Each structure stands twice: as structure tokens, then as C-alpha cells.
């Protein structure tokens, strides 16, 4: 079994709880209140700015040119790819750049991003890569699950969000991180792998907290 597969098994129950969370479920069946989605969009935009910084740290920590290129591509993908979905919704929802700049990150948001940044700065490339994985991979899995709902990908409002996270570009980016984690963990001891597993479980719990925070609009 690949290390990434064992990571998935360790959080399977947590990830399955995402699919039935009222926020995620509401996107899938089109019933989520727009004001909750707007709150999420602003908070997620703020989150992604820090998330991109973790990838940028990967460029600094990498010792091979191809890995540096990979992290650089991912930074570009977040800032000019994934965030373009957010900018599209921001336009529809009437969210201005000024509104984002004047909105504080919620406590759950800050806790999550600060955890990733701390793990990445204090640890090596393996810790950094694993800290990024839960977010990217779980969104792909959520997109897959929601896309099975009849008409979900064509929903006039939430369809674009679902399509974005099952796109080939997003799949390729996710697979790159998965493959990197498998490569970096190949010769690690069980003790070191257990540390990585703990990071993966923690970030998966933070993902659930983010959905909860968004649904309840908690600051």
C-alpha cells in the first residue's frame, strides 16, 4: 500500500462526514443559502492567500529543480486558477476587493492556516507537502461526490464550483501532491510516517471545522 493510500484510510471517516455536512450537501443539491456561500467565499479567498504561501515555501525547501518547478506551478494554479473561480463568484455576489481586504479571517481560518505555516516552517519538505494535501485532495473527492447528484454540475449557481474541483487541471495538481508525498515518504521510518499521519489527520479535522464555520458564519 502506498503511503498516500494509508493516509486516506486514516481519515476516511472524517472525509465521509464532509459529504453529509449541510454546507457541502447544500452545494450539491443547490439548497445552500447564498449568504452562507458568500461568507465562505470571502473566508476561503483569505485562506487561499496563506495556502499559496505554503506552496511558495515548498520552492524554498525543495532541493531539486523539478520539485521547485512543481511548487511554482501550484502557486500559479492557486493564485490564477483556483482563485479565478472565487473571483467569478465575487463578481456575481457583488463582493469587492475592498470588502475582502477589510474582512478579518475567522478564528477557525487563522488556526488552520497558522498550523500549516508552522508545520511547514519547522518541518521538512515531507511535513510541508502533507500539510497541503488534505485540502486539495478532499476538495477533489467532494467534487466527485457532488457531481453524482442529478444536474449538480449544471446548476445555475453552484455548478461552476463543482466543475472547478473535478476539472482535469485540478485533478492533475492534486495527483502531483499525492505523488510527491509518496516519494518523500518512501524511505522514512514508521515513527516519521506517524508524524506525517498526525499532520494529515489534523488538517482533515480543520477542513471539517472550515465547513462548519462557513455554515454557521462564525468569526
DSSP string covering 114-181: HHHHHHHHHS-HHHHHHHHHHHHHHHHHHHHHHHTSTTGGG-TTTHHHHHHTTSHHHHHHHHHHHHHH
Q: What is the pLDDT of residues 128-178, one digit of tens each?
A: 999 999 999 999 999 999 999 888 999 989 998 999 899 998 899 999 999
Total count of domains within the chain: 1
Read off the pTM.
0.91
In sequence order, the 6+-apart residues with CB closer than 8 A to the CB of 88 are: 160
- Which of the residues 82, 194, 207, 218 is marked catalytic? 207
Report how far residue 69's alpha carbon sits from residue 57's, in angstroms, rounded to the nearest whole number. Answer: 12
Residue 88's pLDDT is: 80
Q: Is 63 exposed, middle or buried (0-12, 13-18, 19+ CB in 10 A)?
A: exposed
User: Domain containing 108: what range?
Assistant: 3-216
Q: Give yes or no: 207 in active site.
A: yes
| Helices assigned H by DSSP within 20-106 | 22-29, 34-61, 65-77, 83-93, 97-101
Q: What CATH number does residue 24 fall under?
A: 1.20.910.10
CA–CA distance from 36 to each of 55, 86, 118, 133, 217 (Å)?
28, 14, 29, 25, 7
Write the pLDDT tens digit of every residue in 35-89.
Answer: 999 999 999 989 999 999 999 999 999 989 999 999 998 888 888 766 667 778 8
Residue in the block written with cell 487563522 = 110
CA-to-CA distance for 184 and 126, rounded, in angstroms? 6
Amino acid at each position: 500500500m502506498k503511503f498516500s493510500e494509508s493516509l486516506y484510510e486514516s481519515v476516511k471517516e472524517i472525509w465521509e462526514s464532509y459529504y453529509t455536512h449541510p454546507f457541502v450537501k447544500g452545494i450539491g443539491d443547490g439548497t445552500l443559502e447564498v449568504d452562507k456561500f458568500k461568507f465562505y467565499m470571502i473566508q476561503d479567498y483569505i485562506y487561499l492567500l496563506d495556502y499559496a504561501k505554503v506552496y511558495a515555501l515548498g520552492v524554498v525547501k525543495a532541493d531539486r529543480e523539478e520539485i521547485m518547478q512543481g511548487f511554482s506551478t501550484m502557486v500559479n494554479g492557486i493564485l490564477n486558477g483556483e482563485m479565478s473561480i472565487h473571483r467569478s463568484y465575487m463578481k456575481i455576489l457583488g463582493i469587492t476587493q475592498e470588502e475582502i481586504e477589510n474582512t478579518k479571517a475567522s478564528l477557525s481560518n487563522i488556526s488552520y492556516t497558522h498550523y500549516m505555516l508552522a508545520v511547514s516552517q519547522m518541518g521538512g519538505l515531507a511535513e510541508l507537502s502533507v500539510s497541503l494535501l488534505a485540502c486539495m485532495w478532499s476538495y477533489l473527492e467532494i467534487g466527485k461526490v457532488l457531481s453524482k447528484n442529478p444536474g449538480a454540475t449544471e446548476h445555475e449557481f453552484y455548478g461552476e464550483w463543482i466543475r472547478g474541483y473535478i476539472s482535469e487541471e485540478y485533478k492533475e495538481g492534486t495527483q502531483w501532491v499525492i505523488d510527491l508525498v509518496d516519494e518523500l515518504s518512501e524511505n522514512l521510518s514508521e515513527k516519521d510516517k506517524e508524524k506525517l499521519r498526525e499532520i494529515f489527520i489534523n488538517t482533515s479535522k480543520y477542513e471539517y471545522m472550515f465547513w462548519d464555520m462557513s455554515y454557521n458564519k462564525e468569526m
